[in-house]
Structure formats: structure tokens, C-alpha cells
Amino acid sequence: MSDQTDAVATPIRTAVADDDGIDFTLIELFFFAYRDFTSDPDEILTDYGFGRAHHRVLHFVNRRPGLTVAELLDVLKITKQSLARVLKELIDTGHVVQLQGPKDRRQRELYPTAKGRALALVLAKPQSRRIHAALKEASAGQRDSIERFLKAMVNPELRAQIDIVPKNAG
Amino acid sequence: MSDQTDAVATPIRTAVADDDGIDFTLIELFFFAYRDFTSDPDEILTDYGFGRAHHRVLHFVNRRPGLTVAELLDVLKITKQSLARVLKELIDTGHVVQLQGPKDRRQRELYPTAKGRALALVLAKPQSRRIHAALKEASAGQRDSIERFLKAMVNPELRAQIDIVPKNAG
DNA sequence: AAAATATGTCAATAATGCTGACATATTTTG
DNA sequence: CAAAATATGTCAGCATTATTGACATATTTT
């Protein structure tokens, strides 16, 4: 009886692999890729006294100018209280401004300032460069596959969040 | 003069888009995909009183049985003190065991127990299912593109960490 | 007028990370 | 063999990002 109550549990010496019917290869690659994907902006952010949370807010305010606090909470999947401090700091430092909603004056529409736009671009640049480098040898069709894959990884009921920004809104 | 000292900074009402020479589409998709990719195991982990940090340790101990503490720190890119608490909890709950290194007795080789292996599979299952569903319509060649892309997103000098586990170690 | 909604704020707490310092056991070096 | 280097463990303090619960204010809807 080698159950949990044994003083010493038996070590398993074989590695799990894709054989177990589980795609460990892609699971692990996704972890490594995202770890390094976020590392570039993380370094820049420390110079500004900001963290990854500030980056996320700044990104979406630049991506969807005029979105409300509620919409931002829904996209980030965090609570109002978690957002509060981060948003306040971005407002206090002049990266983001709030405007009263034109139709519903309870709402606060969030917009980037020129300063906030500039920082968003600075943060996105190394990420875009990394993506561009990773796609170097990929064809246009392969890029489409990757885009479709990433989109399909998102919960179906939340995929609408992605489509808010048209492919080339410019 | 609309600089930062102005009482009210001017809001920018246009959205950033890929036009700015930055691949915001993939940047954002990567964020959404990873957010939902980690949400499944996160929910399961709360039932065990564990967090995402425990999951990462458990994953790599199952993936590379016998890896040392130093190797684990290198893979996770965290400090020894950060790992300590999480690792201790996994050991105390019988998910992971430490064996003295056979050659260098200072080292502690980390192995999963049957309990730890089982939990790793439970956590990986929904992630694998999500990947599988996302690849549903993709051809084998497209899967390769995605794998190559994710691998290319990892810092070149750290890509060796990925290759430690052979494609089909089974 | 009452209820619902959007936002803001306060207080307390948890998870995960950090730095710095130091102890122990073991291996390597001179 | 003694000294230095290495691998690990641990303590104390702290920062960031998240959580829940409670409550206040302004505004809109019923």
C-alpha cells in the first residue's frame, strides 16, 4: 500500500509526453512563448514605475478609445477594485483621460493622451518586432493559420471582444 | 501649448491599428488566447488550494523528472525564494519528492509522485482539449507552422530549454 | 419616488514575485 | 588538507497584482 500516508512516496522517473493523449508540446511552447513575449515590455515598464497591469489598460484604451470602465473590466477579466489603482495612476500621470459619457453621464469614457499613445507604441514595438521575426519564414497563409489558431484558443463566448476592432481600422 | 502641465490633456479618439507598423492584431490575440488558456487549470487549482505557480512547477517536474532545483529556477525564470514556498507545499502534500543527486549529493532531484503525476494530467487535460479544438480545422502542415511560430517567439538563447524533452520521449 | 446602474472608494486579505542576508552540506581547487 | 565555490534551504521584509465585501454618489430607468 503505497498511498499518500506513506512516509516516502515513490518517485516516478518517466517523463510525461504527448503519448498520454495530451499535447504537452504545444502547452509548453505556449508557456515559453508568452513568458518571453511579455518580458520586453515588462523591462520598459519598470523605467516608468508601471507594471504589466498598466500595460494592459494602456493597450486597450489605445485600441478602443472611448471604452467605458465596465467594458474594460469585461475585457481584462479583473475586478473593479483591481483596476482602480492602476487606472488612477495612468490618469494621474497624464497617460489616460476620462470623459463623461455623452449619452449616459454615469459612464466614464477612457481615452489615451498623446503621452499615453506614445507609451503604448513604445511597449508594443518590441512585441511586434518579436512577432515579425517569428513570422520571417512563414508565408501569408501560415500567418493566417496562426491567427485563426490563436483566435480559436479564446473562449467562444468571448470571441466578440476580439472583433470589436476591425482588421484595419486605421 | 498642450504639454503635460496642462490641466486637461487632449484625448485621442482614433484607435491604434496595424497601420502604425505594429502588429496589434497578433499582440492582442496572444493576450486573449493566453488569458483563456490559463483559465481552465486556474479554476481546478483553487480546489486544491494551489495557484498558477504550483501548476508550473508540477508541469516541469512531470516533464523533466529528476531536474534539479537550479534547473527549475532557470526554466521558470524566478528566484530561489519565490520557488521555495511553492515547492515546499507540493512536497508537503505529497505531489513531489526530492532525491539526493547521485553524483553531486548537494543537488536535490525533483520527481513527481503518482499523486503529482495524476494532478499534472488533470490540469493539462483541459488545455490540451482547447488546443485540439483550436486545431480542429488545421492541417498537419498548419500545426507545424504554429509550433514553429511559438518556438520562434522564445528568446533564441533559451530555446535549448525546449529541446530538453524530445518530440516523442514516451 | 423607487429601483437599477455605473462608477468610485475604503479596508482587509491572498498569491506571487522581489532583494538581501545568512546557514549548511558538499564538491572543487590550490 | 584547507579554502573557495557551489547547491540548496531559510529568514525577514517588501512590492505588485489580484481578490472580496461594504458602502457612497450620481444618474438613468421603471
Nucleotides of C under 7 A from a protein CB: 5-12, 15-21, 25-28
Find the farthest-apart pair of alpha carbons in chain A and give their distance in angstroms, rounded: 70
pLDDT attached to residue A1: 44
pLDDT of residue B19: 82
The count of domains in chain A is 1
- Select from B43, B160, B34 the least CA-distant residue to A33: B34
> Rounded CA gap, A163 and A158, in Å?
10
Please, which pLDDT band fits residue B170 given cuts at 50, 70 and 90? very low
Tell whether B161 lies on the interface with A, counting CB pairs under 8 A: yes
Higher pLDDT among residues B95 and B161, named by residue? B95
Show which positions of strand D are touched by protein (CB under 7 A).
Answer: 6-13, 16-22, 26-29
Count of C-beta atoms within a 10 Å radius of residue A121: 16
Residue A8 pLDDT: 65
- Per-residue pLDDT at B11: 96
Collect all residues of chain B within an 8 Å Cβ-Cβ radius of residue A148: 137-138
Write out chain A residues lying below 8 Å of B125, CB-based.
22
B74 lies in some domain: yes
Give Cβ neighbours of residue B167 (< 8 Å, ≥ 6 apart): A18, A25
Query: d(Cα B148, Cα A134) in Å, to the nearest integer?
Result: 8
pLDDT computed for residue A33 by the predictor: 95
Structural contact between residues A133 and A149, judged by C-beta atoms closer than 8 angstroms:
no
pLDDT of residue A74: 94
Whether the CB of B108 is less than 7 Å away from nucleic strand D comes out as: yes
The beta strand positions in A113-152, using DSSP E, are none
Distance between CA atoms of residues A58 and A123, nearest Å = 10
The domain that holds A37 is classified in CATH as: 1.10.10.10
Residue A158 confidence class, pLDDT cut points 50, 70, 90: confident
Is A80 contained in some domain? yes
Cβ separation B162–A32 shorter than 8 A: yes
Closest chain B residue to the Cα of A39, Cα to Cα? B155
Residues 6+ apart with CB under 8 A from B72: B57, B60, B61, B83, B87, B110
Question: Residues of chain A with pLDDT > 70: what percent?
Answer: 92
Q: How many CB atoms lie within 10 A of CB A167?
A: 10
Q: Number of A to B CB contacts under 8 A, please give it.
A: 257
User: Looking at residue B166, what is its pLDDT?
Assistant: 56
Is a pLDDT exceeding 70 seen at residue B3?
no
Q: How far apart are CA A109 and CA B29, in angstroms?
A: 24
Residue B93 within any structural domain of the chain:
yes
Q: How far is the CA of A139 from the C1' of C15 (A)?
A: 42
Q: What is the pLDDT of residue A34?
A: 95
Residue B50 three-state SS: coil
Q: CA–CA separation, B66 vs B109, rounded Å?
A: 5
B142 CB inside 7 Å of strand C: no
Inside any domain, residue B5:
no
% pLDDT > 90, chain B = 81
Report the chain A residue with the minimal C-alpha distance to residue B78: A35
Residue A168 in this model has a pLDDT that exceeds 70: no
Is B77 within the bounds of a domain? Answer: yes
In this structure, are residues A115 and A94 in contact, taking their beta carbons and an 8 Å threshold? yes
Lowest average pLDDT, out of A86-95, A99-108, A161-170, B160-169, goes to: A161-170
Q: Please, which pLDDT band fits residue A164 given cuts at 50, 70 and 90? A: confident
Q: What is the mean pLDDT of chain B?
A: 90
Looking at the complex, does the CB of residue A153 fall below 8 Å from at least one CB of chain B?
yes
A167 in a structural domain? no
Going by C-alpha positions, the residue among A72, A99, A100, A74 that lies closest to residue A86 is A72
pLDDT of residue B2: 41
Domain of A67 in residue numbering reads as 25-153
User: How much is the pLDDT for A163?
Assistant: 81
Spatial separation of the C-alpha atoms in residues A25 and A27, rounded to whole Å: 6
Q: Stretch B57-67: mean pLDDT, rounded?
A: 97
Q: Is residue A148 part of a domain?
A: yes
In a domain, B78, yes or no: yes
Integer Cα distance of B40 and B35 in angstroms: 10
Could you tell me the end-to-end alpha-carbon distance of chain A, in angstroms, rounded to an integer?
66
Q: Which residue has the cell 496562426?
A: A146
* B39 Cβ neighbours under 8 A, 6+ residues apart: A155
The mean per-residue pLDDT over the stretch A101-122 comes to: 96
